[in-house]
């Protein structure tokens, strides 16, 4: 599956996890997908990972299935940049300019796949990025189900990366890590 998604652009430190993530999306026939943090720069695959592009591309290949993919970001400039870059795939993605935690708290549908990738993990702001990641997971938790997939970017970094608080929290509630890499992927089953 990942071969169809511009695999050559995916940075090597994300490739295995993203391959597993997209395989699970297809196997589980995931339809309701939410991403926190959107595409901010064109061709910035090494730093941003390109989740938004890859998810929109994946949705475009689903042959008539009704994929409900939302990317949410608080930054209106980031939302407009993402819309511009994704213009050829716009019918496959809904951009939402909002606070991600509030957006997830008010989300009323099941979430088949959740990608947590907001707030950059920068020196001096590690704790803030980890807390934001956990807050997003907590807000989404009521809408996650037994078949849901959670992916957290920027995990293999000093101090545990963005998922340092979220991963053990989810594991204590029955989630298991199926790929422990720069992108960590968790499922219930």
Global pTM? 0.93
Q: How far apart are CA 183 and CA 175, in angstroms?
A: 16
Q: How far apart are CA 171 and CA 59, in angstroms?
A: 29
Asked whether residue 112 carries a pLDDT value surpassing 90, the answer given is yes
Q: How far apart are CA 37 and CA 54, in angstroms?
A: 14
Q: How far apart are CA 163 and CA 98, in angstroms?
A: 22
Lowest mean pLDDT among 5-14, 114-123, 173-182: 5-14
Q: How far apart are CA 32 and CA 20, in angstroms?
A: 18
Provide, rounded to the nearest whole percent, the portion of the chain with pLDDT above 70: 90
H or E element, residue 30: none
Cα 151 to chain center, whole Å?
6
Residue 166: band (very low, low, confident or very high) from pLDDT cuts 50, 70, 90: very high
Residue 123: band (very low, low, confident or very high) from pLDDT cuts 50, 70, 90: very high
Q: Residues near 162 by Cβ (< 8 Å), separated by ≥ 6?
A: 116, 117, 119, 121, 129, 130, 132, 133, 152, 153, 154, 155
- For residues 71 and 38, the answer to whether their CB atoms sit within 8 Å is yes
- For residues 109 and 32, the answer to whether their CB atoms sit within 8 Å is yes
The pLDDT tens digits of the residues spanning 71-96 come to 999 999 999 999 999 999 999 999 99
Instruction: Kindly state the average pLDDT of the residues 107-120.
Output: 96
Q: What is the DSSP string of 102-125?
A: HHHHH--S-EEEEEE--S---TT-
Lowest mean pLDDT among 40-44, 109-113, 141-145, 172-176: 40-44
Question: Which pair of tokens denotes residue 157?
Answer: 């970094």
Asked whether residue 17 carries a pLDDT value surpassing 80, the answer given is yes
Residues forming beta bridges with residue 97, ordered by sequence position: 73
Asked whether residue 28 carries a pLDDT value surpassing 90, the answer given is yes
Give the residue with greater pLDDT, 128 vs 8: 128
Strand order in the sheet with 176-180: 94-97, 68-73, 32-36, 111-116, 144-152, 184-187, 176-180
Instruction: Kindly state the average pLDDT of the residues 21-41.
Output: 93
Q: Tell which residue, 101, 177, 176, has the closest CA to residue 138.
A: 101
Residue 48: band (very low, low, confident or very high) from pLDDT cuts 50, 70, 90: low
């Amino acid at each position: 599956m990942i071969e169809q998604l511009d695999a050559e652009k995916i940075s090597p430190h994300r490739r295995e996890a993203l391959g597993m993530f997209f395989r699970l999306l297809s196997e589980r026939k995931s339809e309701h997908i939410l991403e926190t943090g959107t595409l901010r720069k064109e061709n910035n695959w090494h730093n941003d990972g390109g989740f938004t592009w890859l998810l929109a591309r994946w949705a475009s290949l689903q042959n008539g299935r009704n994929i409900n993919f939302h990317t949410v970001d608080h930054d209106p400039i980031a939302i407009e940049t993402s819309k511009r870059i994704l213009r050829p795939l716009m019918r496959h993605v809904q951009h939402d300019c909002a606070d991600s935690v509030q957006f997830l708290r008010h989300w009323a549908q099941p979430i088949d796949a959740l990608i947590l990738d907001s707030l950059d993990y920068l020196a001096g702001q590690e704790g803030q990025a980890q807390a934001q990641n956990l807050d997003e997971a907590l807000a989404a938790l009521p809408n996650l189900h037994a078949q849901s997939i959670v992916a957290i970017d920027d995990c293999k970094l000093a101090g545990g990366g963005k998922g340092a608080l979220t991963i053990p929290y989810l594991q204590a509630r029955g989630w298991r890590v199926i790929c422990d890499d720069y992108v960590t992927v968790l499922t219930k089953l």
